Amino acid sequence: MTMARAAADEPRPRPRLRYGTRRRRAFALLAAGLLAVAVACSGEAPEQRPATRGPAVHDTGRPEPGPYPVRTRHVSTAEAKGAFRGGTLHYPADERDGGGDESGQDGKGHDHGVIAASPGLGAEESVVTPYGKLLASYGFVVITINTKTLDDSPSRRGHELLDALGYVTGRSPLADRTDPDRLGVLGHSMGGGGALFAASRDRNIKAAVGLTPYAERRDWPRVRAATLLIGGSGDEIAPVKQHAAAFYEGLDHAEEKEYLELRGDHFVATPPGRLVGAQVVGWFRHFLDGGDGKDDRQSSPDGGSGSGSGSGARAPLCPPPHSALVTASRDTCPFDRPGRTGDR
């Protein structure tokens, strides 16, 4: 055997992957998972499907809208100065728009709180648009954004959410209606990871919501904002043990935090059903508008409010509603219902 042949037969060491390569592979796997979900939703049955456990339960019904009529305004990429790929402003109408509160404010003597919302990997703004409309009907100015690229990382989405908040409160046509000290962020999937990243960078963000959030990091020691995390028990794209539930445990310094696990997959919270909509609205109403925790959450069929009719009755913010939809929940909220026995 020649030396050349012997050298050729020797096993070669595998090259070490750089961080960027690992991250691209992670994104590719996530994208593949999203594509598989899209195919399933299109009606084309895949060759194999995971077995479902228990009866099918869905968060049915539309969220109860708030008292404000809602207006929208398109935001171009140029207006955003390239910081994000444009989006839509959703805002409560006032007398300047031909309706709403005569003072132009939210009835509490100050301007509206502001929320920025980001979609996840491969998704457009339309995924979070329903939240923009819903939250605006409760008195918030909301910007739903398109990210610069569809495969932006969670940290990049976080920067874009921060830029979007800066745009709304600083130079948008609605800037004079907003309160820059009452900021919130919301995101789905990698957008949820982006919401956590944004909250870790800006102390003016008082509330954050992650919908089946995805991120590579688990600990969020710099997040001070009150944080609501909603996961899906059957989520195979962002499994709760590695993402939503792990993030909850990693929020050591959040003002308050809540983890709500629902029976469903990666899209269990998009679009919002009645239960999820009630929780998200209640979270922002309390932590941005300063509610007392006793009447912040909308009523829902399983919300334990005693109404269930969508008549406007309220239920305590915490603990989460008792429902067949809820498979697990944990929170640090100080607002209790009588008879609470702790984490579910």
**Which residues participate in catalysis according to the annotation?**
189, 235, 266
Phi and psi for 163 in degrees, rounded to 5? -65, -35
**313: how many CB neighbours lie within 10 A of its CB?**
16
In angstroms, the CA 296 to CA 258 distance is 15
**36: how many CB neighbours lie within 10 A of its CB?**
13
Is 141 within 8 Å of 168 (Cβ atoms)? yes
Phi and psi for 182 in degrees, rounded to 5? -125, 80
Strand partners, 227: 208, 257
Strand partners, 117: 144, 186
Measuring CA to CA, which residue among 226, 231, 202, 204 is closest to residue 215? 231
Measuring CA to CA, which residue among 233, 162, 165, 221 is closest to residue 194? 162
DSSP string, 270-334: SS--HHHHHHHHHHHHHHHH---SSS-EEP-TTSSSS--S-SS-EE-SSSPPP-TTEEEEEE--S
Q: Using H for helix, E for strand and C for coil, what is the string for 90-145?
A: EEECEHHHCCCECCCCCCCCCCEEEEEEECCCCCCHHHCHHHHHHHHCCCCEEEEE
| Rounded alpha-carbon distances, angstroms, from residue 30 to 24, 131, 171, 214 | 10, 23, 35, 9
The residues, ordered by sequence, that sit 6+ positions from 232 with a Cβ below 8 Å of its Cβ are: 212, 240, 261, 262, 263, 264, 265, 266, 267, 268, 269
- Quick one: how far is CA 241 from the chain centroid? 17
